[in-house]
Amino acid sequence: MEDKPIDKQDILKELEELHSLDHDYADGRILGSMCTEAHPFAKEVYCKFLDTNLGDPGLFKGTKQIENEVVKSIGELLSLDNAYGNIVTGGTEANLMAIRAARNHARKYKGITDGEIIMPASAHFSFKKAADMLNLKIVEAELDNNYKIDVESVKNSITDKTVAIVAIAGTTELGLIDPIEEISKIALEHNIYFHVDAAFGGFSIPFLKEIGYDLPVFDFSLEGVCSITVDPHKMGLAPIPAGGIIFRREEYLEVMAVDSPYLTVKTQSTIVGTRLGASSAATYAIMKYFGKEGYSKLANDLMENTKFFAQSLKELGYELVCEPELNIVAFNHPNMQTNELAEKLEELGWEVSVAKCPIPSIRVVLMNHVKRNHLEELLNDLKDIF
Ligand SMILES: *Cc1c(COP(=O)(O)O)cnc(C)c1O
């Protein structure tokens, strides 16, 4: 740090130079990101709430009410009338809270001290962080032929140390939805906490169902589901950071509560202490502004692009890893290594993402910034490469 203050203009110039090294979503070249440019209205609202702190809700009663409203609305979207939970920084923190709730609940009510969590290989790496921090062992359930969690394998993995089962509604790599209904039954039968990670799918599956897409049930209408992660900063078009953790019952927050002596509330259940109200306010605003109609249209547009892209790839001779269920397409060249194809695309200016599970493949997430004209350009390049 310099001794003397520097002129604002000079600082801004330096920052802008660095910022110009960043990719811009608007170029349509970012193919593997699950985030996208936030809606301008959400950004405007976000800036108005920069100084609010939900870590001390007694001082920010209005903003706390906004967070409660957002949690309630997301809960209703997921078929839950009385939702508990928080708007946090993203899917990672939401998953961490869910697993912490499950662990603490099992410790308190079942006396489990060295717990295990069952999840598929397709689970997001945030669960590895959660397991590490919470001192839990991950037991990996197998995938079935469709790359979804294998129900029998889950059953067989249950022990008297199991504190949670995790399944995914919209996997990070392929966008697939696990058989949540069947897992829910198993979880109920064995009285085990069941968490659904819908970080990616949460802001599209409900809207796609609304307009007639035949997608499986994944939400709180299934009795065994205890918590769901949903990321407003993905298809919700809220600014980063915005994740949602929704719990069916208040007791899951209670088992995480620690005393918070100097604050306006007596206890705190979130992982983060001082935490921004801006995410809640921006998410509140964009959800009202879009309504179900707006999100259904967005989700449908993304699916139309997905279908177009998948079909065109097949016509060119590329091979899909699976038929897309949500707006992710993973593919390979029939006789070129994935990494070689990725390099060729990168040379042509595309920011590609390589998936690992279940096989290496090029993975394109059809987010809002990837428009039809970008896809046509990409397909032209893929045609040349072929
Ligand atoms: C994106 C994603 C996460 C992680 O969310 P962050 O917001 O990046 O922390 C977790 N799970 C799934 C299924 C995801 O798609």
Nearest protein Cα to ligand 1, atom 3:
91
Ligand 1 contact via 92 beta carbon (within 6 Å): yes
CA of 232 to the centre of ligand 1 (A): 11
Q: Is 59 exposed, middle or buried (0-12, 13-18, 19+ CB in 10 A)?
A: middle
CA 104, distance to chain mean position in Å, is 23
- pTM (predicted TM-score): 0.97
Ligand 1 contact via 224 beta carbon (within 6 Å): no
Domains in the chain, please, with CATH?
Answer: 8-39+292-385 (3.90.1150.10), 41-287 (3.40.640.10)
Phi, psi (degrees; rounded to nearest 5) at 378: -60, -45
CA of 190 to the centre of ligand 1 (A): 27
CA distance 115 to 189: 19
Query: How is residue 204 written in tokens?
Result: 């599209």
| Ligand 1 pocket test, candidate residues 88, 99, 173, 200, most atoms within 8 A of CB | 200
Along the 386 residues of the chain, how does pLDDT read in single tens digits? Answer: 999 999 999 999 999 999 999 999 999 999 999 999 999 999 999 999 999 999 999 999 999 999 999 999 999 999 999 999 999 999 999 999 999 999 999 999 999 999 999 999 999 999 999 999 999 999 999 999 999 999 999 999 999 999 999 999 999 999 999 999 999 999 999 999 999 999 999 999 999 999 999 999 999 999 999 999 999 999 999 999 999 999 999 999 999 999 999 998 999 999 999 999 999 999 999 999 999 999 999 999 999 999 999 999 999 999 999 999 999 999 999 999 999 999 999 999 999 999 998 999 999 999 999 999 999 999 999 999 99
CA distance 246 to 363: 29
Ligand 1 contact via 363 beta carbon (within 6 Å): no
CA distance 143 to 153: 8
Query: Which atom of ligand 1 is closest in space to residue 198's alpha carbon?
Result: 13
Given the structure tokens 């689970």, which residue do they identify?
123
